[in-house]
Amino acid sequence: MKVWILVSLCAVAFAKHEIYTGWKSYYVAPATQEQLSILGSLESKLDVDYFVRPRVDREGVALVKPRYQEEFLNILVKEGISHRVHSKDIKSQLDIEDELIEARHAEFRARSTPEKPYDNYLRLDAIYNYMDEVAANHPNIVKQVTAGRSFEGRPIKYLKISSTNFEDTSKSVIFVDATMHAREWITTPAALYAIHKLVENRTDPELLDHFDWIIMPMSNPDGYEYSHTNERFWRKTRSFDRNLISFLCRGVDGNRNFDFHWGTVGTSDHNCADIYPGTKPFSENETRVVRDVLKENLSRMILYITIHSYGSMILYPWGHDGSLSNNALGLHTVGVAMADAIYAKTLPVFPRYTVGNSLLVIGYGSSGAAEDYAHSIGVPLTYTYELPGIEHDYDDDDDDDEDDDDDFANDDHLKGFHLDPQYIRPVAEETWEGISVGAKRARAIVRSK
Ligand code: 0X9
Ligand code: ZN
């Protein structure tokens, strides 16, 4: 009996990430607009998933399934698009990620220290347990709200943190959410660390004296769990409707589902696409919950930050057409102050943040994004944070072709979305610097008006 249990456990362990066998990722560097649009067309043509979207002056990272790799490379060579391997074996990256997460769990067990959810990538129940615990231990300043349920019925929770029970209307409200995109695991620890600093380890009294806080560390719990159990690179929700295709290709991109120029830019009508915006604005329980928080607190909300990854960017509206809002000066000033605060705390391994208009900085337009919607309904300062991912580059002979697997792409280092768990706490700490400085600068700006 015991042997069978062991055999089954091994089978499960080996089966993990099996669907990613043979997948590779490539850096792609278009030199012209034309090359950029060819790369864009490969998304639907060859089912390419861009971890980082290329721009003419910036390398992107493309995830390519085995059956399309030959054609992908042929097109790049034919079109003269510069490229090189990013990860030659995605599955091994995923296995390493699992091992590092497990090793970190073991470290905490060995030390008999409780593992905090900003020390490692934890599953939903542990994240929710932490929120329950914080709320139970600090009833005077924390109120936990279950705002709704995800498509699969999981609670979507946030903490309201206030020294005056949200009753002092002279205070400003700050709203932070995370993990709208399931695979962006680093974002939830960053939001949870903000809770820790506001409640358990308060070092700056001003933050509760002047502000009421709403922190929603997990806006897409179904997608998040699915990215742990089935597909690590899952991005969307897990919803479907009566349409058979929607059942076969589930989910909606939450950050295309808000009611702001919905379905017009940077979206795809195909259910299977990662940027599918849904059948209508706010079709998703998960985005309605965020919308309701924004609306309910609109009169006092001065700052909304929706945390994503990766790319080390602080983005502000408008992201659908690259135009600037009437509050562009304020958006830029506070954006730069937040990036400076992050920079002052950062580690040398993290890339430096870029601040600016969403479309111009990230290099593509997108409609239906939370940051734009929040600003359009009247939140004066709204940002998408793209937290850092680390790209190890071992290419020392500068050639562009795909044959140089031996020179670099040492896949024993984690890259991009697979941010090594040892970096979770440093990222959370520096992100907190950005959020807290953002709150103070936002207040100074709003009061000076
Ligand atoms: O594309 C997105 O949804 C965000 N980037 S991510 O890599 N996390 O997917 C950026 C959204 C910013 N766009 C707008 N504000 N329109
Ligand atoms: Zn995202």
User: Which residues are tagged catalytic?
Assistant: 386
Ligand 1 neighbourhood includes 274 CB (under 6 angstroms):
no
Which region holds residue 364: left if phi is over 0, alpha if psi is between -120 and 50, else beta?
Answer: beta
Partners of 384 in the beta sheet?
306, 315
Q: CA-CA distance, 350 to 428, in Å (whole number)?
A: 13
Residue ID of nearest Cα to ligand 1 atom 3 = 255
Q: 209 C-alpha to center of ligand 1: Å?
A: 32
Q: Which residues of 17-48 are buried (b: 16+ CB within 10 A; e: fewer)?
A: beebeebbbbbbbbeeeebbebbbebbeebbb
Q: Beta strands 301-309 and 172-178: pairing type?
A: parallel
Q: Which atom of ligand 1 is nearest to the CA of 51?
A: 7
C-beta of 315 in contact with ligand 1 (< 6 A): yes
Contacts 24+ apart (CB under 8 A), 116-119: 116/192, 116/196, 117/188, 117/189, 117/192, 118/189, 118/190, 118/192, 118/193, 118/196, 118/424, 118/425, 118/428, 119/189, 119/421, 119/424, 119/425
Which of 23, 58, 27, 25 minimizes the C-alpha distance to 395? Answer: 27
Question: Ligand 1 centre and the CA of 148: distance in Å?
Answer: 24
**What CA–CA distance (Å, rounded) separates 389 from 310?**
5
Quickly list H helices, 260-402: 285-296, 328-345, 358-362, 370-376
Work out the number of other CB atoms within 10 angstroms of the CB of residue 12.
9
Q: At what angle do helices 328-345 and 424-447 cross, to 10 degrees?
A: 150
**pLDDT tens track for 204-216:** 999 999 999 999 9
Q: Would the CB of 181 count as within 6 Å of ligand 1?
A: yes
Dist. CA 212 → ligand 2 center (Å) = 25
- Is 382 close to ligand 1, i.e. is its CB under 6 Å away? no
Query: Taking the chain (449 residues) in consecutive chunks of 10 residues, what is each chunk's mean pLDDT?
Result: 46 72 96 94 91 89 96 97 94 93 95 94 97 98 98 98 98 98 98 98 97 98 97 97 92 98 95 95 98 98 97 97 98 98 96 96 95 98 96 48 43 78 96 98 89
**Does 297 contact ligand 1 (Cβ within 6 A)?**
no
Strand (E) or helix (H) holding 127: helix 124-137
CA distance 308 to 389: 11
- 284 touches ligand 1 (CB under 6 Å): no
Query: Which atom belonging to ligand 1 lies closest to the Cα atom of 317?
Result: 15
Asked whether 369 lines ligand 1 (CB < 6 A), one says: yes
Which residues neighbour ligand 2 (ion) by CB within 5 Å?
181, 308
Ligand nearest to the CA of 386: 1
Q: Which of the ligands is closest to the CA of residue 254?
A: 1
pLDDT computed for residue 392 by the predictor: 64
Q: Among 366, 382, 417, which residue has the most ligand 1 atoms within 8 Å of its CB, making it the best to mutate?
A: 366
Q: Which of 257, 384, 417, 419 to mutate to test the pocket of ligand 1 (most atoms within 8 A of CB)?
A: 384
